[in-house]
């Protein structure tokens, strides 16, 4: 563990970020200025390739300065600093004009800790630095048309073929598959074992023969999710993650980290809350007591969500099942913010009257169903909390 103080780290990061970009200014970020989009879901856009290229340049810049994995193990390019330093880095990044790192959410926040827990030394040595620097970008290949919340009921099959495996099946709701290099895929390797057994996870090269990626159009008009078809795709055995037929433990680890990332990174930042307060101030004049009460509740819940998540993550290590609460708190807060915006805007929430910052809130509203399903539906997560945290009797299977 480094003896680097937070003040020293702050100075180091500020100097590095100043060398890469300029600080954000009030111009372009105030009411009526700049882009008025209100979205917490990454969307496929015409400029996506340019955004990815700039993000890769930024992450490479951080890696060269030892800032691409602040709390990661030094042997894999990390700094070995406490998790609080990650929060400090994100706080400082918010002060600068930097590329959106949503493209890396699965690679950095989910796959890297999963490989630390279940990957081989060779996989860790080869992949972890490249994932953190965005040289490689990964996605998740879990859900299927007939196995979403009941993930263990999947039908994708992997069969032995010499020193490797042949995988055939269909995956769906794979965020970012169209720009990813790797996919963490779960497939059934033994059909005779119980549902949660007989599953194995693999790292699949998405450039392999037999893979087809198709975008899924969303309510928002974007296409950040994809269908992925695997037809007799060959995967070497050294790309298997975890034991044969032991893939469910890998899945559980990755889902816990995914829920942690959603709760920590999506939608509860102070800037979005401030944006909602600004909306009410400009649309509701004078601001009535009912709206004041709604906004105060949002502010309090946002702070409570951030502090609860930080408490769960304190001490590092693999998150526990209680991390399902952070995702539930986050999506519920976003639902509440959407409701407040709709109440304030009235008809302008669903019909664009050309006023800056008004109709833009509809994108958040339309994107919410996807967030409440991705990473585990609200109902499934409540079951997980009840059964695994509160030790309540299990739901009838």
In angstroms, the Cα distances linking 390 to 132, 324, 329 are: 35, 12, 17
* DSSP 8-state assignment for residue 96: B
The widest CA-to-CA distance across the chain, in whole angstroms, is 73
What is the pairing mode between strands 182-188 and 138-141?
A: parallel
CA dist., res. 111 & res. 100, Å (int): 19
The partner residues of 212 in beta bridges, in order of sequence, read 229
Closest by CA to 83, choosing from 281, 360, 258, 313, is 313
Residue 2 CA, chain-centre distance (Å), reads: 28
CA 397 to CA 394: how far, in whole Å? 8
Element (H, E) at 256: helix 247-265
Token pair belonging to 379: 């109902």
The active-site residue, picked from 144, 258, 265, 363, is: 258
Residue 269 CB neighbours (<10 A): 16
Contact 359, 349 (CB under 8 A): yes
End-to-end CA distance of the chain: 46
Report the alpha-carbon angle 288-293-299, nearest 5.
125
Phi first, then psi: what are they for 367, rounded to 5°? Answer: -85, -15
For 247, what's the count of Cα atoms within 13 Å in the CB-facing half-sphere?
30
Among residues 80, 93, 38, 128, the alpha carbon closest in space to that of 349 is found at 38
Residue found under tokens 């709390």? 71
Is residue 110 within 8 Å of residue 257, measured between CB atoms? Answer: yes
Q: How far apart are CA 392 and CA 355, in angstroms?
A: 50
Catalytic, 258? Answer yes
Residues catalogued as catalytic: 258
């Amino acid at each position: 563990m480094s003896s680097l103080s937070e003040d020293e780290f702050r100075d180091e990061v500020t100097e590095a970020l100043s060398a890469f970009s300029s600080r954000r200014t009030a111009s372009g970020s105030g009411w009526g200025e700049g882009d008025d989009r209100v979205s917490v879901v990454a969307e496929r856009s015409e400029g996506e390739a340019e955004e990815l290229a700039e993000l890769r340049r930024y992450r490479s810049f951080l890696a060269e300065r030892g800032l691409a994995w602040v709390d990661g193990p030094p042997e894999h390019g990390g700094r070995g600093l406490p998790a609080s330093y990650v929060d400090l880095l994100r706080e400082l990044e918010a002060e600068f004009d930097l590329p959106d790192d949503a493209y890396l959410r699965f690679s950095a926040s989910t796959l890297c800790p999963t490989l630390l827990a279940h990957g081989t030394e060779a996989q860790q040595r080869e992949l972890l630095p490249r994932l953190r620097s965005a040289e490689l970008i990964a996605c998740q290949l879990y859900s299927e048309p007939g196995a979403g919340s009941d993930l263990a009921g999947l039908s994708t099959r992997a069969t032995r073929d010499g020193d490797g495996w042949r995988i055939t099946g269909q995956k769906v709701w794979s965020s970012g598959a169209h720009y990813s290099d790797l996919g963490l895929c779960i497939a059934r390797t033994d059909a005779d074992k119980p549902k949660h057994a007989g599953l194995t996870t693999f790292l699949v090269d998405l450039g392999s023969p037999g893979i087809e990626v198709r975008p899924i159009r969303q309510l928002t008009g974007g296409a950040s999710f994809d269908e992925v078809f695997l037809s007799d795709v060959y995967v070497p055995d050294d790309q298997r993650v975890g034991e044969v037929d032991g893939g469910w433990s890998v899945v559980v680890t990755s889902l816990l980290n995914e829920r942690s990332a959603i709760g920590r990174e999506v939608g509860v930042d102070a800037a979005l809350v401030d944006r909602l307060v600004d909306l009410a101030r400009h649309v509701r004049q004078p601001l009535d007591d009912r709206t004041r009460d709604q906004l105060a509740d949002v502010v309090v819940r946002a702070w409570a969500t951030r502090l609860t998540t930080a408490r769960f993550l304190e001490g590092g290590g693999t998150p526990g099942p209680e991390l399902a609460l952070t995702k539930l708190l986050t999506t519920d807060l976003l639902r509440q913010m959407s409701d407040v915006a709709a109440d304030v805007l009235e008809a302008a929430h669903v019909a664009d009257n050309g006023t800056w910052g008004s109709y833009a809130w509809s994108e958040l509203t339309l994107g919410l169903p996807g967030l409440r399903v991705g990473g585990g539906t609200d109902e499934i997560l409540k079951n997980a909390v009840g059964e695994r945290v509160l030790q309540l009797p299990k739901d009838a299977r």
